[in-house]
Amino acid sequence: MKKALSILLVCILVLSMLVGCTSGGKESGADKETSTPVSAGDSARDSSGDSSGDSKVIKIALITKMVDSPYWQTVKRAAEEKAKELGNVEVTHLGPPTEADIDKQVQIVEACINDDYDGIILAACDVDALVEPVKKAKAAGIPVVMIDSGISEPVYDAFLATNNVQAGAECAKLMAELIGGKGQVAIINFAAGTQTAIDRETGFTEEIKNNYPDIEIVGVQYCNSDPTVAANQATDFITAFPDLKGIWGANDQSAIGVAQAVTEQGKSESIMVVGFDNSDDIKAGLKSGTIKGTAVQMPTLMGSRGVEIVLDIINGNPPAEKDIDTGVTMVTTENMNDPKIDAILNQ
C-alpha cells in the first residue's frame, strides 16, 4: 500500500511540473511587440532599413508628367530608395505617356483617390487642370506633396521645386556670356501650360529684356518634350535666321533635340546651345562641347524628400514651410570636372 501511495505522489508531482511549464510559455498582452508607421526622422530601425513588427504598409503614388524620361526615372529611383530605407512604404510610379496628355494625368490622380492610396506625390502637367483633383484628394484625407511642377492654387500640403524663374534667368546669363552679349537667340520650350515651362521662359526672357538690350529673342516653340519635334523646330530657326547665335532648350528633351539639329546643320561652333537638366544625353553633349551649359536641378532630393514629407504629414508632422526650394546649379563645359559639380551632374 505504501509503495502504491509513493508512486501516486510521484505521478502527481511530475504532472504538476508539466502544467507549470506549459502555462509559463504564454505571452501576456502587455508584452506583445507593436509597431506604428515610422516618420521620416525615426531612428528605430535596424541596419537594413526595415522597421520592426508588422506595421501597416504606407502606399504612396508618385505621379509624374510622364514616366520614361531620364529625369522622372531619377525621381522614381530616389523615391524608391527612400521607401526601402523607411521599410514600411511602397511607392508606385504612375504618369501619362506624354506631358501633353493632361486629361490622362487627371484620370490617374482620381483613380489613386479611389484606390485608397495613403499619399500622393504629384508633378502637375497643367497649372489649372490639376487643382480640382488635388482638392478631391485632400477632401479624401490623402496628403498631396507637389514636386517640380505646381498648380495655380496652393491647395497642396507642400511643394518641392526649383526656383524656375531664377533658373531661367541663370540660363539667360550664361547664353549672353557665350554669345558676347549681342545677337539673335531662340527658345525651344517643352509645354505651354506647365508651370515649370512658364516660369523658366519668364526668367529667361525677362533677364534678356532687362539686362541685355543687344540680344534679340527671335521666337519660342513648344516641343511637348519630344526631341524629334525639338530638332525640327531648331532646324527651322537655323534656316529662318542665318545669323542665329544661340538656342536654349528649356528641359532635357528640348535640349537634346536642339543639340541634334545644331550638329546635323554643322553649326556646333557658331550656335551656342544651353540646356536644362542632366540626362545621359545632356552629359554627352557637354563632353563633346555641343551643349555649352545646363541648369541642373535636384531630382533626387525631390523624390526622397517627397516620400519623407508624405510620411511626416500622415504622422501629424507637416512641414513648417509649404514651399521648399530644392536648388539649381549651372554646369558648363568649363566647370563640369570640378568634384562638387561632378557630383551634382551625376546624382
pLDDT in tens, 159-215: 999 999 999 999 999 999 999 999 999 999 999 888 999 999 999 999 999 999 999
Q: Which residues contact 189 (CB under 8 A, 6 or more apart)?
A: 197, 200, 201, 220, 221, 222, 223, 250, 251, 254
Reading the block at residue 190, the C-alpha cell is 517643352
What pLDDT score does 44 carry? 29
* pTM score over 0.75: yes
* Whole-angstrom distance, CA of residue 168 vs CA of residue 244: 20
Hey, what domains does the chain have and what are their CATH numbers? 58-162+299-316 (3.40.50.2300), 164-296+330-345 (3.40.50.2300)
* Whole-angstrom distance, CA of residue 340 vs CA of residue 281: 20
CA-atom Rg of the chain in angstroms: 29
pLDDT, tens digit, for every residue of 222-247? 999 999 999 999 999 999 999 999 99
pLDDT, tens digit, for every residue of 273-288? 999 999 999 999 999 9
